[in-house]
Amino acid sequence: MFVVNPLDIAVEIKGVSHSFEGALGQAGAELMALSTTDLAIRRGELLSLIGPSGCGKSTLLNMMGGLLTPTSGEVRVNGAIVTAPMPKTVSFVFQENALFPWNTILDNIVVALTFQNVPSGERLDVAHQALKAVGLSEFAQYYPDQLSGGMRQRAALARALSLKTDIILMDEPFAALDEQTRMVLGEDLSTLLNQTGKTIVLVTHSLGEAVFLSDRIAVISARPGRVLEVIEVGEPHPRHPEFVTSGKFAELRNRLYALLHDEIRQTLSTQAMGIPSAGLQSAAGSSRHD
């Protein structure tokens, strides 16, 4: 279909697998989180990784960011093999609690720029610009605890943007937010990314979020994870709320659901057999809150 120029590949995953040693608390026990996987992420696209709990999508993301080393195969960013975090090229947005609670959101960004060795004279300006880009200028002197979950996530996004990396990796950045806040943040993200042209890899649990935000969606199977299919969304950015009610959206969402349904069943049945998984616990926990 497409012939992709190798220079247009931002992240390349080749024959990558990952096992956690002694993950079950026994010496020699190995838990295969990710089986041999190939995936290429194009420059400037937003690619979502979606799959059942424990399928290794976060593991894959952490390997792209240099936080984990593949057991086999290699991960290349801009053609170079990843061995450690690359603060100049790749930044992360984690779940809600990754801002430093002892710093104001402005200082959170200034500290990040300090880590990245940005000259001290430029840090404040860059930080203010980043907060302005996400609409948080007035809240610069607030501590994370004083902001809502949605605002905190905007601040975390501002911190990642301020680092001016080509690639941003997002690990379920909206997971802790309510549905409405998620939708609005999703729209904002789509607009923002349309302006910056960054390459984004997004790990998500939400089918709707994946369809709404992504250029492509990589569907990962139950553990040990592998890429089942890569779905093209084919809708221009920035995306608007009307996209959600379109037939195309529903069709893509249903296709994703059909692909994932059996995988999720399989995950649930292995969990019922007593294989420990954080995923089942969190699922049980959230249903109790509902």
Residues that bind another protein (CB under 8 A): 65, 67, 85, 87-88, 90-92, 94-95, 97-98, 100, 102-103, 111-112, 114-117, 163
Q: How far is the CB of 94 from another protein (least distance, A)?
A: 6
Nearer to another protein, 88 or 132 (CB): 88
What are the backbone angles phi and psi of residue 231, rounded to the nearest 5°? -100, 130
Q: How far is the CB of 39 from another protein (least distance, A)?
A: 21
Q: Residue written as tokens 């605890």?
A: 145
User: In whole angstroms, what is the distance from residue 5 CA to residue 275 CA?
Assistant: 43
- The CB density around residue 79, as the number of other CB atoms within 10 Å, is 10
Nearer to another protein, 90 or 211 (CB): 90
Nearer to another protein, 98 or 264 (CB): 98
Nearer to another protein, 108 or 267 (CB): 108
Q: How far is the CB of 87 from another protein (least distance, A)?
A: 3
Alpha carbon 247 to its chain's center: 26
* Side chain identity at residue 101, one-letter code: P
User: In whole angstroms, what is the distance from residue 249 CA to residue 157 CA?
Assistant: 26
CA distances from 91 to 47, 193, 231 (A): 15, 14, 25
Nearer to another protein, 91 or 190 (CB): 91
Q: How far is the CB of 102 from another protein (least distance, A)?
A: 4
| Strand pairing class (30-42; 167-171) | unpaired
Nearer to another protein, 9 or 98 (CB): 98
Nearest to 207 by CA among 251, 176, 265: 251
Q: How far is the CB of 176 from another protein (least distance, A)?
A: 12
User: In whole angstroms, what is the distance from residue 11 CA to residue 60 CA?
Assistant: 11
Helices (H), the chain: 57-64, 105-115, 120-133, 149-162, 179-196, 207-213, 247-272, 278-289
Q: How far is the CB of 196 from another protein (least distance, A)?
A: 18
